[in-house]
Amino acid sequence: MQYDLVVIGGGPAGLAAAIEAKENGIDKILLIERDRELGGILQQCIHNGFGLHIFKQQLTGPEYAERFINILKEKNIEYITNTMVLDITDKKEVYILNEKLGYKKINAKAVILAMGCRERTRGAISIPGFRPSGIFTAGTAQRFLNIEGYMVGKKVVILGSGDIGLIMARRLTLEGAKVIAVVEIMPYSTGLTRNIVQCLKDFNIPLLFEHTVIDIKGKSRVEGVVVAKVDENKNPIKGTEIYYECDTLLLSVGLIPENELSKKAGVIIDKRTSGPFVTESMETNIEGIFACGNVVHVHDLVDYVTLEAKRAGKAAAKYIKGTLRRDGVKIITINGKGIRYVVPQIININNSKEVTLFFRVDNIYKDCKLEVRLNEKVIKSIKKDKVTPGEMETINIDFSKLDIKQDDKLFVEVKE
């Protein structure tokens, strides 16, 4: 089997990338999704709040996905579901598996990686205690409730204040469960402010900062958890232990880009994002392999996923047609003081004069400035009342009037 473009992953990233490539003149496209239906993680996000930026509308996750799925179908873009990509090589050979075709090799001129992310588990953060049933990652619980139609418990403690945890606090409450508390080890939430208000405050669910779960009780099913306050080194403080009787512990302790497949193709992963190093065109270090969405870095708003995916789709089309530029000066972006990471990591201005930088701060800062420097020179400075690690920031940079030399450095920094 031979295609111009293979897109791996049928979430919002994969969908938008495939559509954009088609609109840019690529015809032989195959989009591959391992789940039963297209839409990715959006299918289980039945709450409102998707598409505010792009559609100026409050859509649910499935509604947002449906808009793109419909366009995909109208444009006759070929897709297969229930199909898992098991391997990719740096020669852009894609190995797929499903019940009808069996195990097959596909050759592609270009590949777009859009595999999304997975949730961090109890094991990743080594919560001690027993290992009974009743411990779920928030996303798994969300799937049980919203897709399978089952409740996971009656009295719930949630560890971590990531968005999925917050959303699930509300969802479980509306389903008649008692959410006792949300416990967060950091002094701030990694979730969106609007979710803290709408999902916790409106339901009087307490949010405990600088606390964590230090023990899990129950030999068959969870019977309770011990929560304690932590010191500045995140060690529990003796004497601050609280015992909560509960039958369920939900974990919303972070997402990890799913790059096992990318690594098989030789794609290099940036430790700061856990996703591939990418260029302004969302191209990885392997020529012709592009990436977008949560596989590159974890997004909190789907709108930005779509934006980024369009970039990848457009660039892949250029690459297939042989018009993606490799010549010209390249700039490296650098996360300066107060910034955890910046995407893209490399910019070739021959491919686009205007680039949106995506980045996250490493702590809460109030009354500060977000500054972009080209080497020593400040080229942009934006006043902010408050920035938090839970909300991704973006800045547009117009390079057309700047004098750029090879290996110039573009710094993003927080100025207090």
Partner 1 sequence: MYDVLIIGAGIIGTSIARELSKYNLKVCVLEKDNDVANGTTKANSAIIHAGYDAKNGTLKARLNVLGNQMFDKLCRDLDVPFKRIGSLVLAFDDNDLNTLHKLYDNGIKNGVKDLYILSKEEVINIEPNVNKTVKAALYAKTAGIIGPFEMAIALAENAYENGVEFRLNSEVIDIKKEDVYVVYTKNEKFKARYVVNCAGLYADKINDMVSKNRFKIIPRRGEYYLLDKSVKLVNHIIFQCPTKLGKGVLITPTVHGNTLIGPNAEDLEDKEAINTTREGLRFVLDTAKKSVEDIPIGMSITNFAGLRARTELDDFIIKEAEDSKGFINVAGIESPGLSAAPAIALYVLDILKSSGLEFVRKNNFKNKRKGIIKFSDLSFEEKNELIKKDSRYGRIICRCEEITEGEIVDAIRRPLGATTLDGVKRRVRAGMGRCQGGFCSPRVMEILSRELKVKMEDIIKDHEGSYILTGPTKKEVD
Ligand X SMILES: Cc1cc2nc3c(=O)[nH]c(=O)nc-3n(C[C@H](O)[C@H](O)[C@H](O)COP(=O)(O)OP(=O)(O)OC[C@H]3O[C@@H](n4cnc5c(N)ncnc54)[C@H](O)[C@@H]3O)c2cc1C
Q: Is 160 in the site for ligand X (CB under 6 A)?
A: no
Is residue 304 helix, strand or coil?
helix
Separation in Å, CA 237 to CA 184, 186, 216, 218, 385 = 15, 14, 17, 23, 33
In the complex, least distance from residue 278 CB atom to partner 1, rounded to whole angstroms: 21
Q: Nearest residue by C-beta to ligand X?
A: 11
Q: For residues 111 and 6, is the Cβ–Cβ distance under 8 A?
A: yes
- Beta carbon nearer to ligand X, 20 or 163: 163
Q: For residues 186 and 209, is the Cβ–Cβ distance under 8 A?
A: yes
Q: Is 162 in the site for ligand X (CB under 6 A)?
A: no
Beta strands in 247-376 (DSSP E): 248-251, 255-257, 269-270, 275-276, 289-291, 330-335, 339-343, 346-348, 354-361, 365-374
- Part in contact with partner 1 (CB under 8 A); list of ranges 172-180, 336-344, 346-354, 368-376: 172-180
Q: Is 81 in the site for partner 1 (CB under 8 A)?
A: no
Of 310, 305, 311, 296, which is closest to residue 259 (Cα–Cα)?
A: 296
Give dist(CA 173, CA 198) in Å, integer: 12
Give dist(CA 50, CA 45) in Å, integer: 9
Q: For residues 368 and 415, is the Cβ–Cβ distance under 8 A?
A: yes
Q: Is 239 in the site for partner 1 (CB under 8 A)?
A: no
Report what 4 binds from partner 1, ligand X, none; CB cut-off 5-8 Å by kind. none
Residue 124 parent element (H or E):
helix 122-125
Of 190, 404, 117, 107, which is closest to residue 280 (Cα–Cα)?
A: 404
- Part in contact with partner 1 (CB under 8 A); list of ranges 20-28, 113-121, 298-306, 399-407: 113-121
Residue 189 parent element (H or E):
none
- Part in contact with partner 1 (CB under 8 A); list of ranges 25-33, 114-122, 316-324, 345-353: 114-122
In the complex, least distance from residue 84 CB atom to ligand X, rounded to whole angstroms: 5
Q: Is 260 in the site for partner 1 (CB under 8 A)?
A: yes
Q: DSSP character for 298? A: -
Report what 176 binds from ligand X, partner 1, none; CB cut-off 5-8 Å by kind. partner 1
Residues 173-232 within binding reach of partner 1 (CB under 8 A): 174-176, 214-216, 219-221
Give dist(CA 81, CA 60) in Å, integer: 22
Among 6, 164, 185, 387, binds ligand X (CB under 6 A): 164
- Part in contact with partner 1 (CB under 8 A); list of ranges 168-176, 187-195, 201-209, 334-342: 168-176
Q: Is 112 in the site for ligand X (CB under 6 A)?
A: no
- Part in contact with partner 1 (CB under 8 A); list of ranges 1-9, 25-33, 78-86, 386-394: 78-86
- Part in contact with partner 1 (CB under 8 A); list of ranges 98-106, 325-333, 372-380, 405-413: 98-106
Among 1, 86, 197, 268, binds partner 1 (CB under 8 A): 86
Q: Is 153 in the site for ligand X (CB under 6 A)?
A: no
Of 70, 36, 63, which is closest to residue 47 (Cα–Cα)?
A: 63
Burial of 383 (0-12, 13-18, 19+ CB in 10 A): exposed
Q: Is 416 in the site for partner 1 (CB under 8 A)?
A: no
Tokens of 22: 């088609």
Q: Is 297 in the site for ligand X (CB under 6 A)?
A: no
Residue 195 parent element (H or E):
helix 193-195
Separation in Å, CA 319 to CA 24, 267, 281, 301 = 11, 17, 10, 28
Q: Is 32 in the site for ligand X (CB under 6 A)?
A: yes
Residues in contact with partner 1 by the rule CB under 8 A:
34, 46-47, 82, 84, 86, 97-103, 118-119, 121-124, 126, 128-134, 137, 139-140, 143-154, 170-171, 174-176, 214-216, 219-221, 236, 247, 260, 263
Residues near ligand X (CB under 6 A) are 8-14, 32-35, 40-42, 45, 47, 49-50, 84-85, 114-116, 139, 142, 163-164, 255, 258, 261, 293-295, 299-302, 305
